[in-house]
Amino acid sequence: MQRNRIVWTGLAASAATGAAWGQLALETTGRIDEVTVYRGQALVTRVVETGAAGGLQEIVVGGLPQAVVPSSLYADAAPGVAVRSIRYRERPIDRDVREEVRALDERIEAVQRAARAGENESRLLAEQRAYLVQLEQFGGQTAVTELRSGVLDAETIKSLSEFIFAERARLAAAELAQQERARELAAELGQLQREREQLAGATARTVREAVMFVEIEGDRTRELRLRYLVNQATWDPSYTVRTDESHNGVTVEYYAAIQQLSGEDWGDVTMTLSTATASLVAKAPTLEPLTLALAAPAAQYSEADALTMRDDYAARKVQVEQQRQQSAAGERDARREEFDSELNELAANIWLLDATAAGRVSKRGGAGAGPEEAQLSVTYAIDERTSLPSRADRQQVQIAAIPMDADFYKVAAPALTAQVFDEARITNTSATVLLPGPVSTYVDGRFVGYGEAPLVAASESFTLGFGIDSSLRASRELVERSEEVQGGNRIVDLAYRLAVQNFGHEEVRVRLMDRMPTISGDDVRVTLLGGAEASLSPDPDYQRRDRRTGILRWDVVVAPAAIGADALAQEYEFPLEYDKQMSLAGLPVQGG
């Protein structure tokens, strides 16, 4: 707790209390104890210690940051403390910057001296290079003369050449280092000069304070909590997923990348992360009656126009709702009525579009189908106290490290790549909801690649990749293509062979994937022939989803050292039958 400082404020005695409640104000900064980081804002809680004297007190909490939301100030009344009022104020104070300016001037002079020394060194290097050129020219001319005279001294020429080449290398390295140093000094000088300009002009600064009037029961010190919102604070999720070479489960390390530029440092605080929107309003908006009247016929909106306008109204409704949640304490009732009225008006416009749009308006696919992050409100409490300075870069804080069950397998899709990948179906066995975010995957401490995690609820499963298995290779080849015309139809028969080679010493399970076309309508008939259909994976999830879209999956076991002719092979065949007067998209028209 920072030491409190007592200052004279000249407050009059309060007749309402029947006693002289004092003319002293307690000036303090309190201690930042809790922070809840939202997406775009943060709720900061300072612990403030009152004076020991009972009765009414004025407490001035200074050092509020530049990004504070003034209307969000409020205080939690502790036992024995009644908060009578709280307000925000800004006031300028003089600032003596002479010592700081002098210190900057000394640093600027030191950098300038170093720059001048560098310039002298550059000139010396240039003179050395010019002399070396002259020496090289002299040596060359001398060698030519001696060669003509038949008295060439080869050893001297060799020594001179080696000296010239060595000096050229030394000068090149020295010039490069000097150029880099000159750039560094120029950048440092520019930064110092900018700091000096800013500091020399800042003869005064603004302090931001919360002024509270509280009433204390008894003559002893008590604590209360001052809370306020700050802007320029946000966080995003990210993950590191680890497993070992034996793939004995996985550990999902859940991180938050926090960025806060509020202007105050959060030191040793209890931190909470939330996807909710900070709200200062407890009451739900009032739903007003919807009145309807008839008017002269008007042009109806098309389905596309109606859906676009509906989205615009819905987006505006979200904005108004957020503004309502953060409405100022002093104007809460009036502003809340305005926000409620606008919310009702926007909702009425949406209903009117639904009722008057031309034709049938259907819900677009995917809208509202399942939980979306924007609709989800989750909160994570960080186990240990955390420190986060106010700075531009994002700072990583671990939310949790969660062991999870995982079913590992290999995936081969030779139509796309010869590489075979490790994948795992991971089940979130914790109660923690995982938000969408980037994933870094590691196997036995070795980084294998990046991925993306979806929104994962408790007990839900998701799929992650764990990199390439270099001991496996996959291939796909067209074994046979035939074509014939029967009546008015053309039949194109295609047979493919998929293969997986295993260069390792253990058998492996592989999901061997390919695809055949799916057709909407009856214009083209496609049928998977032979035993390929029966040998497809019986996995219920695959049969329910992917099989219907033409994705083929065989769950195979590849023996160790299955190379060349011993490679695992899977063949399949399907005919395409369609009107001979037509052609398949992307294929040339055939005669006949």
Residue-range domain boundaries for the chain: 98-201, 278-376, 413-592
- The predicted structure's pLDDT at residue 321: 79
DSSP element (H, E) containing 429: none
Average per-residue pLDDT for the chain: 82
Can you tell me the distance from the alpha carbon of 518 to that of 515, in angstroms, rounded to the nearest whole number?
9
Can you tell me the distance from the alpha carbon of 549 to that of 59, in angstroms, rounded to the nearest whole number?
69
Give mean pLDDT, residues 377-382.
87
Does the pLDDT value for residue 251 go beyond 90? Answer: yes
Can you tell me the distance from the alpha carbon of 56 to that of 80, in angstroms, rounded to the nearest whole number?
12
Can you tell me the distance from the alpha carbon of 421 to that of 218, in angstroms, rounded to the nearest whole number?
71
CB 75 within 8 A of CB 83: yes
pTM score of the predicted model: 0.63
Can you tell me the distance from the alpha carbon of 507 to that of 562, in angstroms, rounded to the nearest whole number?
9
Can you tell me the distance from the alpha carbon of 252 to that of 264, in angstroms, rounded to the nearest whole number?
32
Amino acid occupying residue 187: A
Residues 6+ apart with CB under 8 A from 591: none
Handedness of CA 477, 483, 489, 495 (dihedral sign): negative
- SS3 of residue 443 by DSSP: strand
CA distances from 582 to 205, 221, 516, 519 (A): 80, 91, 20, 15
Give mean pLDDT, residues 135-140.
74
Confidence of residue 163 (pLDDT cuts 50, 70, 90): confident
Which phi-psi region, left, alpha or beta, contains residue 521 (left: φ > 0; alpha: ψ -120 to 50)? left
Q: Among the ranges 189-198, 260-269, 337-346, which has the highest mean pLDDT value?
A: 260-269
Q: Lowest mean pLDDT: which of 19-28, 468-477, 550-559?
A: 19-28
Confidence of residue 323 (pLDDT cuts 50, 70, 90): confident
Does the pLDDT value for residue 380 go beyond 80? Answer: yes
**Distance in angstroms between the alpha carbons of the first and the last residue of the chain:** 93
Confidence of residue 151 (pLDDT cuts 50, 70, 90): low
Higher-confidence residue: 24 or 391? 391
280 φ/ψ angles, rounded to the nearest 5 degrees: -115, 10
User: β-pairing, 266-274 with 250-260?
Assistant: unpaired
Q: Among the ranges 49-58, 297-306, 518-527, which has the highest mean pLDDT value?
A: 49-58
Does the pLDDT value for residue 368 go beyond 70? Answer: no
Residues 6+ apart with CB under 8 A from 451: 438, 439, 441, 464, 465
Handedness of CA 522, 528, 534, 540 (dihedral sign): negative
Can you tell me the distance from the alpha carbon of 239 to that of 419, in angstroms, rounded to the nearest whole number?
25
**Residues in a beta bridge with 235:** 258
Give mean pLDDT, residues 560-586.
85
Higher-confidence residue: 592 or 351? 351
Q: Among the ranges 276-285, 303-312, 329-338, 452-461, which has the highest mean pLDDT value?
A: 452-461
532: which DSSP letter?
G
- The predicted structure's pLDDT at residue 269: 94
Six-digit token pair at 366? 């995917």
415: which DSSP letter?
T
- The predicted structure's pLDDT at residue 373: 46
Does the pLDDT value for residue 48 go beyond 90? Answer: yes
Does the pLDDT value for residue 4 go beyond 90? Answer: no
459: which DSSP letter?
T
- The predicted structure's pLDDT at residue 135: 78
Nearest CA to 395 out of 238, 514, 198, 527 is that of 238
Our measurement of the distance from residue 286's CA atom to the centroid of its chain's CA atoms, rounded to an integer in Å, reads: 36
Does the pLDDT value for residue 592 go beyond 80? Answer: no
CB 431 within 8 A of CB 283: no
